[in-house]
Amino acid sequence: MRAGSMRERLTFNELTETQSPSGAVRKTWTPVYECRGFYKRSSPVYDKDGVEAKELYRGETIFMIVRETSQINANYRVGYKGFMYEIILITPVHSDNTLEIQLRKINE
């Protein structure tokens, strides 16, 4: 990973339950960790007939690379450029001490 390539700001949110004075329990996503990441470009895969392989590529699925840390887990949601994403997969890359995170956009 080249120095200065992690330019995207990511906010990791955790689901927390808070209780209002009236006793109602409310579930909210609260920020717990912020870091910088690298947007890994992905492109559609086409077969020999020119048909897009949708199981390999979807427009709402993105890949981000962040520095390796123990503060990130698969139960978090990620805020990126005004959208919320759920974490599908976290893959450690031991050769350069990073994590490759696969994210899916959430329609909320």
Measured distance CA(42)–CA(38) in Å, rounded: 12
CATH code of the domain in which 47 resides: 2.40.10.270
Spatial contact of 92 and 99, defined as CB atoms under 8 Å apart = yes
pLDDT digits (tens, 9 = 90+) for 47-68: 666 665 555 545 688 999 999 9
Q: Which pTM was predicted?
A: 0.80
Does any domain span residue 2?
no
Does any domain span residue 88?
yes
Total count of domains within the chain = 1
* β-sheet bridge partners, residue 79: 11, 84
Domain that holds residue 61: 8-105
Q: Which two tokens stand for residue 88?
A: 């599908």
pLDDT digits (tens, 9 = 90+) for 74-94: 999 999 999 999 999 999 999
Spatial contact of 34 and 11, defined as CB atoms under 8 Å apart = yes
Q: For residue 2, give Cα distances in angstroms to 5, 7, 80, 98, 101.
A: 6, 11, 21, 12, 18
